[in-house]
């Protein structure tokens, strides 16, 4: 045991026993399987079921991750909104591929998705921006996301200035909008006892159909 830690990390483990996942149970289309599990996560009152970890890789080859909120999911792909000038925005400009992961611990489930990333249309970004609370819309103008700030007060002062300048109906900033990950690979992971977890992967084939396979845990 590491004497610098009050926890015996080597002995921390959980047996997953809530459910199972079989090839015969999953939907033919991965987006349908995703919605099935997402709905179950909502019913299970998972903490922010649309929270996901998104991984990108920059021009220097270094990966980075962050937690974002999913705001759209259909046959076209999975959508989130952010500052295009953030670190992830620069990463995606250099390398337009990403991976995302949902962890629903209440159901002992993980969903992993990989694919190419593209910007959504201006119309989609405008529509979502207009649906946000006013404070969040002003915040999109204020935050130089991922850049160094001298203090919290600098950010709050900028927010107050923009609130006065923009009023109650600010337009969408040109540096802010949506991305869509267009999947070519999905994995659905269900925890099982003895670490013999169920893993079903969907891989997009050249003709656009999906191949389903079981992976070793």
**Upper half-sphere CA count for residue 53 (Cβ side, 13 Å):** 11
Tally the residues of the chain.
217
Q: Return the pLDDT at 1.
A: 47
Instruction: Give pLDDT tens digits for 13-23.
Output: 888 999 999 99
164's CB contacts (< 8 A; 6+ apart) are none
Q: Which two tokens stand for residue 16?
A: 């997953």
Q: What pLDDT shows up at residue 43?
A: 97
pLDDT tens track for 99-112: 999 999 999 999 99
Tokens of 162: 């923009």
Q: What is the DSSP letter of 120?
A: P
Indicate the helix (H) or strand (E) that contains 123. helix 122-131
What does the pLDDT read at residue 4? 65
Active-site residue (options: 36, 43, 161, 195): 195
**Token pair recorded at residue 102:** 């949902």
What pTM value is reported for the model?
0.91
pLDDT (tens digit, 9 = 90+) per residue, 140-173?
998 888 888 889 998 889 889 988 999 999 999 9
Nearest to 68 by CA among 55, 85, 80, 56: 80
| pLDDT value for 213 | 96
pLDDT of residue 7: 85
Low-confidence residues in the chain, pLDDT < 50: 1
Return the SS3 of 210: strand
Q: In the annotation, is 204 catalytic?
A: no
């Amino acid at each position: 045991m590491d004497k610098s830690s009050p926890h015996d990390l080597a002995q921390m483990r959980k047996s997953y026993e809530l459910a199972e996942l079989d090839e015969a149970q999953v939907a033919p289309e991965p987006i349908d399987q995703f919605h099935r599990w997402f709905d179950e996560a909502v019913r299970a009152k998972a903490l922010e079921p649309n929270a996901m970890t998104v991984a990108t890789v920059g021009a220097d080859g270094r990966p980075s991750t962050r937690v974002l909120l999913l705001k759209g999911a259909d046959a076209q792909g999975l959508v989130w909104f952010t500052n295009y000038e953030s670190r992830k925005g620069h990463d995606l400009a250099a390398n337009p591929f990403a991976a995302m992961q949902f962890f629903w611990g209440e159901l002992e489930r993980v969903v992993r998705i990989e694919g190419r990333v593209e910007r959504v249309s201006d119309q989609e970004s405008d529509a979502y921006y207009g649906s946000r609370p006013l404070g969040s819309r002003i915040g999109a103008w204020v935050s130089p996301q991922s850049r160094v700030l001298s203090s919290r007060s600098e950010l709050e002062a900028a927010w107050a200035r923009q609130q006065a300048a923009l009023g109650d109906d600010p337009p969408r900033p040109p540096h802010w909008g949506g991305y869509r990950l267009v999947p070519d690979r999905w994995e659905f992971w269900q925890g099982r006892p003895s670490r013999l977890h169920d893993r079903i992967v969907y891989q997009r084939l050249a003709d656009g159909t999906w191949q389903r396979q079981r992976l070793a845990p």
